[in-house]
Structure 1
Amino acid sequence: MAPAAARQGGSLCRAACRQLLFGLLVLILFCEACKKVTFNVPSKLEAGTLVGRVNLKECLKSAEHISSSDPDFRILEDGSVYTTNIISLSSEEKTFTILLKDIQRHEEKKMHVNLLSHQKKTHKTRHTRDTVLRRTKRRWAPIPSSMMENSLGPFPMQIQQVQSDTAQNYAIYYSASGPGFDRDPKGLFYIERETGNIFATGPVDREQYPKFEIVCYATTADGYSPEKPLPHTIKIEDDNDNAPCFTQDLFEFVVPEHCKPGTVVGKVIAEDRDEMYTLHTLLRYRIVTEQPSLHKMFSVHRDTGVITTLTPQLDRETTPKHTLHVEVRDMAGQPFGLCNTGTVVVKVADINDNAPYFGHSSYETKVQENLVKVEILRIPCLDKDEPNSPAWNCRFSIVKGNEDNHFDITTDGRTNEGVLCVVKGLDYETTNLRILEITAFNEIPYAVVPYSSTLTQSTCTVRVIVLDDDEGPVFKPCLLPITINGCGTVGTVIRKYLAEDPETGNSEGISYRIAPGQCNWITVDENTGELRTAKLFDKAMTGRQCNITVLAVDRSGKTGTGTVFATVGACDKYYPTMTPTEFTICRDRKPVYITAVTPNESPYSAPFRFDISDRSMGSGWQTTQNDATSIYLSPRNDIPFGIYKIPISVRDNAGRQGTSMVTVNYCDCTTPSDCVRHSDPHISPAVTLGVWAILAMILGSLLLLLILITLCGCYGTGAVSKHVTDDLANQNLIISNTEAPGEEVMDPNIIPLQAATVNSCDHGVGMGTIGHEVKTGGQSFEMSKGGHQTLESGRGYGQSTMEQGRYSYSEWQNFMHSRLGEESIRGHTLIKN
């Protein structure tokens, strides 16, 4: 029975192992593909035992060939791992590799499998084990360990102990992994297997290894882990073993001269490798020395390292560069702190605090007359500012004596000199001495700062002596533009083109000719210089141009040249005219449409510009432009009816002007057809008078005088009234006006109306009158009909001006006799002629 019992016990043991392996398989399935897989197994495995299952698909989906590096293990397609032989694990772990290949894609991957064996130290009941696992782990989670860097030992030096409470129930062995244990720097630490004491084997540099993150393990002798792996930190405490250092060997800054105190120059930066936010890295700065050391010019902020100016007396012209030695010290600047020094160079930038100036106050030079584009003088410019900078570069200006722009001055950028040149020829005969006033300034404005010199504009005087030269004739102007009439005949004089002797200023003894190779449009008279047309021009040549060189030769043979710029103009025989020229406008004041025409072609054609040429004749009228060839003409509101002659000028596109007289009958009508010029009772028709007609006029005047004498006799000289009534005067005027042909010789001065207001229409036919043409003996003259408003008072066109004053009968009779005598003499003269 004993052997059977033993066999039965062995079967039960194998069954238990299989169950344990199956439980571990669940955990293994979650391992990542192609990474190391670990199985916890008994120290002895029977042949055909399932060790576990790996995920082959996640490692290589299309694995065609699966093999194991250890023949004691066989791998199935589903990833199951079986033993092929009885395996006893003499050591705590065994490792083999699963090889996966995809022959078509030429892919190959490996998966490492690690077998860990474990054995219980003592056998406890399940109830007891569960109770142990539920206990609180007080010693398994110690506080982070610390170790002073650069410690002097003695070594090995214990720095911490880890211990598991499960050591009360199991034989616990301790181990650790991570930097300092099994990774670089290997061997720096070790842990005692039985006690959990962690030791350091030597000193550590915190700046290289500020801390070590390790993992501690607690296991039984058979490989069972009653505790989870414990992450643990070994912190290296900082020691002030590093002095601060500047980030640069040399700091260079630039600051403008004469800047304000407190101007930021730059910032120095230092670093300390010791632990941040401790006294070991709390840095302070100070300036140790400053060169030159005459005055302290700069300061440094002790906390930030920012360097600023202390005074506005930085002067580049005196000290262009300053050198500072700056110290940085840790431990908040305490004397026992570590320190270092650095060098700072501050360059003083130039500003324009020095004005340019001339070496001399006056210069003198000579130049031959008529020379152009020649250098006549170089003027040095001195400046204390930095050479070749905008504050040093000089610019010059001629402020006086160059009003005719004969001179120009530029700057030689290499020497900073002013180069004075003649750009237009000088004339000795005009003046033999030119005095120029020249100033100098810089490219940038002058900066007025403390301790800088006062700005004074540097000025120098240049005397330019013009030397005489016997020169040839000079045309005035040197370029003469002319326009040749396209309709002109051959030999038509265009104008004269004369040259003068610059010595004498006259044209005597000078002959003229056209230079060879010129266009044959004009000729020049050898003696007089008259330009004449040399050919006929057709319409196709209109607008064409040609430069013609004319030569002038004096008695000594010297020659001068001039240029005639000739343009062929259009054939402009005709001026623009108005059509039609006679119009009638009724009381509705509707404008009339007037068009201008011309047979000429461009440019002597449209667009036209219209204007009333004589405003005294057309002040009561206004024009409105309609288009390029026409206008509207309309009366203003304040003119009476009548016939008006309005002179309208028309200017073509080339400026040629013609004037047309437009006659407008401004009539009291509804339509123009209702108004016949000769039927208008307010407009007397033009009458051609002979000798008998003039005689009849004189007789009519005598008859009027007789009527007046008779009336005076009826009333008597003694009983006559002082004043003549308005009705009587108006009656006489009306009767006189209705008799024919007495009204033709009525003179407005026959009845002297004092203080009478006469409205002037300014339309060229008299003061409120209609002109009548009188012809006698082949000659004609106009006679005015006076008293227009008085004559028309009966028709509502005006009121009698006699109301302005009254006269006695004797005054009126004396006046009438004198006027009648004048009319008699005038009539006699007309009859005689």
Structure 2
Amino acid sequence: MCYCVDSCVENHIQVQVPRIMEPGYIVSRVNLDGCGGGPLGLTSSDPSFAVEMDGTIRNVVITIVPEDGMFFWITVQDHMGQSWLVDVSLIYKKQVTNSTVLKRSKRRWSPPPFSIKENDKGPFPKEMEMIGSDSSVNFSVYYVIKGPGVDLTPAGMFSVVPQTGMLKVHNTVDREQYPKFVFTAYAYNTLNNAETDLPLPITVNVEDVNDNAPQFTGPMAFTVQEKCPMDTIIGKVNATDRDEPDTPHTKIKYTLQNGTNLFRIDPYTGVISAATNVLDREAAEKHFIGIEIRDMGGASNGLFSTGIAMVTLTDINDNPPTFMKSKLEAKVPENQEGVMILRIPVEDKDMNNTANWKAVYEITKGNETGNFMIKTDPATNDGLLYLVKPLNYEKQQTVNLEVMARNEVPLVGTSATWQKVPLEIKVEDVDEGPEFPESIVYLKIKENVPNGTLIGNCKAIDPETKNSNDITYYKMTDPGSWINVIGSTGELKTAMTIDRESPLVYNNTYNITVKAVDKSQKTGTGTVVILIEDVNDNSPMITKPEPVLCAKGAGRGSVPLEAIDLDQKPYSEPFSFEIVKPNDEKWKITNQRGTSAVLEPTSEMPNGIYKVPILVKDLQGFGKEQIVSVRVCDCTSDGGCAPQKLSTIFGTWGILAMLLGLLLLLLLCLLCILACSTKREKLAMADDGYSGGMLLKSNLEAPGEEVKDALFMVPANGADIMDGSKIGYQEHQNLSSSFGQKQTYAEGMYQNNMQGFLNTNTSGQYGIGMYGNSFKKHSTMSAGDGWQENGNQLNKKLIYFREEADVRFADDILRPYGFEGVGSPAGSVGCCSNFGEQESMDFLNSLGPKFKSLADVCKTKSQRGGL
């Protein structure tokens, strides 16, 4: 150590800091400006603080500054091994005075950092250095050390002689595991074991020795495109050394052990590059390069390791497809099509199943007629030549083609070009059927020629004999059966009338097909197109012969006439329209234009249908008379005729039919009156005088003969009805008539006095306040009147029992019971029952809920018109 006056750094730094410093807090900075340009080593004696390369002092742990401050020092060492110490004093801000100059406190501990070599062989324990405190001048002290390497992992590495302060090391140390130790020394008074000085951090640096060979890190596989330019960077080999960084122990040199003709490596960065521009994937796709890494800058005494780097060359399209033969040959029978005639193999050195390898074939010469097509077999990359149109031996015995093979992508990195190869195809002769000299034979004929007219000839030739001998002709298609084919000669004659206007004719043409058969039963087919010329065989025809003329009051309307002719010009338009004479001169033709004209009346025409004879002729004067039925009527908004009046529609017979219907209806009414006035047969119903409180079945539909012909008479003053003395009886001889009157009266009394009937007391008896003594005894009433009154009361009960609300169980109705018993005072409720001396109609109040089912049935019947 050197503590000379001319050191490059200041001797002391005093800084005021907060009481608590967080990690990362910048304490101060050591000024290194006067220390030259070489590398400097900066270390702190206190592990709580770190010193960066630029001299910045930074706190690394949470630190609490004591009230009397903190002290540590910074060691600065240059590349020559000379060291300087910088004292750092940290003062709690509270203690800082206004004085800008602070006095330096006297150092009481003065041990510099100690160092030991790693992997020291001993013998152990080995003395290191001695520590001492200034307090030993005044006190008898002993020393104690604590921390990592002492009582913490790795414990037992260091010890101190308490009386002398001599530090000792007890074991071998691996710097790569423990690059330094920082523990604390304490000084105690031997008399009272009190600390005589502040604790002192002790730093022990482990000096590195070159005991670790460099090792490869990262991938060792690289790729580069073939034919890449020289000096193209392929990749970088990475290596590391566990020894101390920035020392010769970790200075690595890279060396290639093979492949130096193709590759090179930077000795200090490990970057691999191409040493040539002729790297060829087709020659070698992968290259394995041996690499040595040695520390100590590659010195012979340095430690080293070796590894293998793999360089893979990626493909480019530098090889065109090449044909296996210099000339190709093939054979094909004539008249064949849609068959493969040749497989063309090629070789491509580029990577299989890539665009650089896949071949595309073209026929560059000889296929002007489009007879051939070539494809690529995706599995083998061969070219497949197909015949798509048949060849004719009689016309061409040999076909010469030229085929070129290329790739899907252009060539790069080579001066080669796409290859071509000649291909000779020989056509083989086969026995063929007859052939028509022309694929389509065109014949012309006028329509409507007589049957049997010769329209042309359709002959075939045998390609082998070049003549038409021994060939028979047959008709294959003839949609209208208009043509006959003469089998021995091939002549075509008309079999039926040929009509140009027929729907079988398209664009004035009519097609048939003819088959020719030679003596070897070989066949050939020809097409005959017959061009049909038009003749004037159609008259112009009016398209709408029944027009409507709308009546317009005093004005006269008109109707348009439109005609059409199926013939072509000059046998059709323009047309001429004229009214055929003699006529009544009520109509005239105006405004003739081409195919249309206007028909107008000469005077106002009444509604009706008028038939007008009109002659329509074409340009050649050919036409005929036609009848136009003009309907004159009142029109609706859409132009149609409005409906006629009913009187006009019905006519005489319609009125007679209506009168006959009214007569039949009158007879039907008379028949109904006669049927309703006929007296019905009376049915008597026995009364056993005992009903057991139940309603009895009865088939009685009207009062019996025992019912008196009497009914209540309604006085003019409705109030008199309340007095029973004013109610009288009226006798009638006609029972049915009197009964109907009584029913009418009873129903009226029920409707007008319903509240009176519903007025009941708690004893179940009908009140007599409203009616007086009119119903004190039923014996004063006739049997018919009693039956009618019972019916009214029953109707009222039926309505009441059909209600769903709970209030229908009124207080005057008995609750449900398990057994009704016998001897009910009500007796029978039949229409013909003998009331005897019954005093009231209380029995109607004792029917109870069980009467509901019967009420539903009876109510349903009542709705149909009966109880």
Shorter-chain TM-score: what band? Answer: 0.3 to 0.5
TM-score by structure 1 length? Answer: 0.41
